[in-house]
Amino acid sequence: MKIAIASDHGGFSLKQELIPWLKEKGLEVIDCGTDSEDSCDYPDYAKKGCDEVLSGNADFVILCCGTGVGISIAANKVHGIRCGLCPSPEIAALVKQHNNANAIALGGRFTEPALAKEIVEAYMNAEFMGGRHQTRVDKISALED
């Protein structure tokens, strides 16, 4: 599995915690920046991470900003991306099971690294349920047109 990860300055520290953990699990990681805690704009990094998914270079993207809200809003503006803000493992699993999300967002200032790892693990272990959820995902995709 190949995972893209991107953050702004508010999510940089959490991103830096997740990268070695993902690699230790044998996963390939594409770091889409940022590279420091210097102030920057989360939409730029949301786009970089989402582009890796849309191009087929990554299976999904983990996006981190201070709250997770701004970067998730930006990601959801990218055609073809479905991003869910995941404050808990339960929500992360549902984001995949019900919404077939290809992006998850985490709040770097509100999510401890241990919890973030549980969230990512729950998302990766979940499977899209299809059925009635596919109908809803199709309707979401139609909103982009």
- Residue type, position 24, single letter: E
114 touches 71 (CB < 8 A): no
Is 79 in the active site?
no
Residue 81 is classified by DSSP as: -
133 is annotated as an active-site residue: no
From the list 40, 65, 83, 86, the catalytic residue is 65
Displacement of CA 35 from its chain's centroid (Å): 18
**Please, are residues 97 and 63 in contact by the beta-carbon 8 Å criterion?**
no
5, 15 Cβ separation under 8 angstroms: yes
**Would you say 14 and 111 are in contact if contact means Cβ atoms under 8 Å apart?**
yes
Residues tagged active-site: 65, 98
